[in-house]
Amino acid sequence: MSKKIIKFPSTSKKIKPKNYFKGYFKTLEKINNEIDLNKVEKIYKILSLVIKKNNQIFVAGNGGSASVSNHFLCDFNKGIKISSKKKLLPKVISLSNSIETITAIANDVNYDEIFSSQLENYMKKNDCLFLFSSSGKSKNILNAINFCKNKKIKVIFVTGFLGKEISKKYKVDVHLDLNCKNYGITEDIFSSLMHMIVQLIRFSYQKKGIL
């Protein structure tokens, strides 16, 4: 039986700002405490290996998740590269980064293909696709997953409140669902996951004398 999706209290009734802020942090803490850290570790290991083998990491999301995807590109490509004195050269491509490409594909092809169409140009065997999605049901996200089927591409999917549906319908290597139906909190945790993983990669190599 799946867990009840955690929702942040409604603002339909009058509420004091400080109480609202406290409730937000309390919900954020609850979600953080329930994250499956075994899956987070698996994600870390996949990304580390892809970087070591000099393969590409594609990342994508819509709305706030697009912002996290672009931040992901910055922290991995710049942060790891500089800290390692160019011994590690992550190749992260955000499919949410080019408004020109996205609008061209949306206008001339279909908005549902804005990510899969880009993957068709760039993706190679043993690359990795990392997707952020609060609902987990956006067609452009699901089409990107479908594109990777049977192509020996690692797929990591982090969602807010999809539940376990993804494991039944789509083939992904890791699906981490936060069980949270608050977009702000979900996107906060998306950012935290990205920061934790990139910092651990940098720290791990530092302990080995590489950074």
Single-letter code of the amino acid located at 210: I
Rounded distance between C-alpha atoms, residue 205 and residue 148, angstroms? 30
Question: pLDDT per residue over 108-147, tens digit each?
Answer: 999 999 999 999 999 999 999 999 999 989 999 999 999 9
What the chain holds in terms of domains, given with CATH numbers, is 36-207 (3.40.50.10490)
CB 169 within 8 A of CB 150: no
Whether the Cβ atoms of residue 157 and residue 166 lie closer than 8 Å to each other: yes
Nearest-angstrom CA–CA distance, 5 and 85: 44
Strand order in the sheet with 174-177: 91-94, 56-60, 128-133, 154-159, 174-177
In this predicted model, what pLDDT tens digit does every residue of 21-57 receive, in sequence order? 999 999 999 999 999 999 999 999 999 999 999 999 9
